[in-house]
């Protein structure tokens, strides 16, 4: 090694010996300092992202569409009328405005037993004075004893009215039997006028229907379709009915269609994802797919499935972080408030919140939800990201549809389809004319969804330092400071071993000589 030989060769010159000794000690200190930095980085387990591009056929993603037209549950028509009357009173008290309701009369036939529902009239809309003289609108929530109250305030009056009505609406739904949703599925039975994938008609087995309390009747198309070619003609094309019947005007203020593109076996979270399609337009959506492959422990915190999460998943679907967060919040809701939030699945043995069975549940829910907004709940730490995750990048274009040249015959054909297959809309009073004849263009929309290209990117996490890379970095540092190699290190170890052996040998010899001197002294 460089430097060590100079200590021997300069033994006759004390100045050189001292200089080379200081240089040798300085190089040794710098070497082990950089060794410390290197091992600190290695034990931090850093990763780098490696991007690669692949090209092969992909399964077409699932597409969930909702008509954004929630309607009155048949079992709660009278209770909703009472809620609408209460809403008129509140809005008139605030804005001196009388809004017209949907006008739907309660259905007498096949209504079944009336659910137990108690309209909490103490929770009213109020004008609130904020800091700086700013006015807001909200409502007050108190616990069961009335000793702890707070205001849920909103700067927008429209947002406040919707949130207040939504709270009472969920309170009503919580009192209904859990199987009442099956009666909603026929409402969306003619939501889709036509469906084609890759030039072929879609079959009934390719989609599932469900009802969302805020977004109405929803369809999820999830056929086992393999996309072999990019382009519009090889994607899915749908003509949809976007008619708004205004069953719940305070709950739904949008007109259009909600669309989410998601991976198969993944739960579509309509409240957090997706986008809206405007009626009277043709929307073309191009898809690009990205895949992320994450490293597990010790390089990061990810899970291969629901078994690796700290929360039991309430959804019968593939693990996603969003599903885990929702499940975590619902479990905390059940444990804290003794009931579950209506929009989320229930754990075994729990029931949905309703003032009839759980007074002041809104106070408990909004307290817990505020903690969630402020990141004070442990859900994020309990819900790791999946180790393998796919995401879809969407690009959308819109144009007016039908065009002015083809509007007459297309709307006439769709109108005949509507009258022939729909007849009277569900919940529509006898004798009332369909909305189709009034504003036909606003009742239809066309959607095309396709892969823009079959090339997809994979983002892989790879360790910055593997064991061979660590040894290579150590060898580089050793060579930099001492000009040594592996054999030089072995020679140094041999030197240290010889020095230790020689020291022990000399020590034993001195000890033996000392003992011999003592014996001779004893004889004399």
Q: What's domain 4-46+463-523's architecture?
A: Orthogonal Bundle (1.10)
At 41, phi and psi to the nearest 5?
Answer: -65, -40
Residue ranges covered by each domain of the chain = 4-46+463-523, 75-173
| Banded pLDDT at 326 (limits 50, 70, 90) | very high
pLDDT above 80 for 295? yes
Q: Show the tokens assigned to 142.
A: 């108190």
Helical ranges in 152-272 per DSSP H = 157-173
Q: Which of 186, 175, 185, 166 is nearest to 75 (CA)?
A: 175
Q: Give the single-character DSSP code of 340.
A: B
| Banded pLDDT at 330 (limits 50, 70, 90) | very high
Chain mean position to CA 280: 31
Residue matched to tokens 């995750």? 389
Q: Which residue has the higher pLDDT, 115 or 145?
A: 145
- The string of DSSP letters for 36-85 reads HHHHHHHHT--EEEEEEEEE--EEPPEEEEE-S-----GGGHHHHHHHHH
pLDDT computed for residue 205 by the predictor: 73
pLDDT computed for residue 447 by the predictor: 92
Number of Cβ atoms within 10 Å of the Cβ of 422: 16
| Banded pLDDT at 112 (limits 50, 70, 90) | low
Q: Show the tokens assigned to 21.
A: 């000794």
Those residues with Cβ within 8 angstroms of residue 282's Cβ, 6 or more apart along the chain or in another chain: 398, 399, 400, 401, 445, 446, 447, 448
Q: Which residue has the higher pLDDT, 415 or 354?
A: 354
| Banded pLDDT at 441 (limits 50, 70, 90) | low
Give the tens place of pLDDT for each residue, 451-493.
988 888 889 988 888 888 888 888 888 888 877 777 777 777 8
């Amino acid at each position: 090694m460089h430097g060590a030989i100079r200590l021997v060769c300069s033994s006759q010159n004390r100045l050189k010996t001292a200089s080379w000794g200081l240089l040798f000690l300085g190089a040794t200190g710098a070497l082990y300092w950089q060794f410390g930095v290197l091992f600190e980085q290695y034990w931090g387990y850093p990763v780098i992202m490696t991007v690669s591009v692949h090209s092969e056929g992909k399964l077409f993603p699932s597409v969930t569409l909702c008509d954004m037209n929630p309607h009155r549950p048949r079992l709660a028509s009278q209770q909703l009328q009472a809620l609408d009357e209460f809403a008129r009173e509140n809005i008139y008290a605030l804005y001196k405005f009388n809004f017209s309701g949907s006008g739907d009369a309660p259905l007498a036939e096949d209504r079944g037993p009336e659910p137990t529902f108690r309209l909490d009239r103490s929770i009213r809309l109020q004008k609130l004075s904020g800091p700086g003289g700013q006015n807001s609108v909200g409502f007050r929530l108190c616990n069961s004893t009335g000793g702890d109250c707070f205001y849920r305030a909103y700067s927008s009056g429209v947002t406040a009215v919707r949130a207040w009505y939504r709270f009472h609406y969920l309170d009503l739904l919580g009192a209904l039997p859990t199987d009442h949703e099956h009666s909603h599925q026929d409402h969306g039975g003619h939501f889709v006028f036509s469906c084609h994938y890759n030039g072929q008609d879609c079959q009934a087995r390719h989609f599932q229907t469900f009802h969302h309390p805020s977004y109405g009747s929803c369809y999820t198309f999830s056929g086992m379709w393999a996309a072999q070619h990019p382009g519009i003609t090889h994607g899915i094309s749908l003509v949809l009915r976007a008619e708004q019947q205004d069953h719940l005007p305070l709950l739904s203020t949008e007109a259009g269609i909600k669309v989410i593109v998601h991976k198969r076996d993944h739960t579509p979270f309509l409240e957090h994802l997706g986008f809206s399609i405007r009626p009277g337009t043709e929307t073309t959506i191009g898809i690009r797919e990205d895949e992320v492959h994450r490293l597990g422990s010790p390089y990061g915190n990810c899970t291969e499935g629901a078994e690796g999460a700290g929360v039991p998943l309430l959804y019968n679907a593939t693990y996603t972080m969003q599903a885990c967060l929702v499940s975590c919040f619902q479990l905390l809701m059940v444990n804290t408030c003794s009931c579950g939030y209506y929009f989320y699945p229930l754990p075994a043995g729990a029931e949905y919140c309703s003032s009839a069975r759980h007074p002041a549940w809104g106070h408990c829910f909004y307290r817990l939800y505020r903690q969630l907004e402020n990141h004070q709940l442990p859900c994020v730490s309990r819900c790791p990201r999946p180790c393998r995750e796919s995401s879809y990048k969407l690009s959308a274009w819109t144009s007016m549809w039908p065009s002015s040249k083809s509007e007459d015959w297309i709307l006439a054909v769709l109108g005949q389809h509507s009258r022939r297959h729909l007849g009277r809309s569900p919940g529509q009073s006898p004798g009332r004319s369909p909305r189709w004849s009034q504003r036909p263009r606003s009742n239809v929309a066309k959607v095309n969804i396709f892969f823009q290209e079959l090339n997809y990117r994979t983002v892989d996490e790879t360790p910055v330092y593997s064991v061979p890379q660590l040894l290579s970095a150590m060898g580089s540092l050793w060579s930099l400071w001492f000009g040594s190699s592996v054999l030089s290190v072995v020679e140094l170890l041999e030197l240290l071993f010889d020095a230790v052996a020689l020291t022990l040998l000399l020590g034993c010899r001195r000890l033996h000589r000392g003992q011999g001197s003592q014996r001779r002294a004893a004889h004399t």
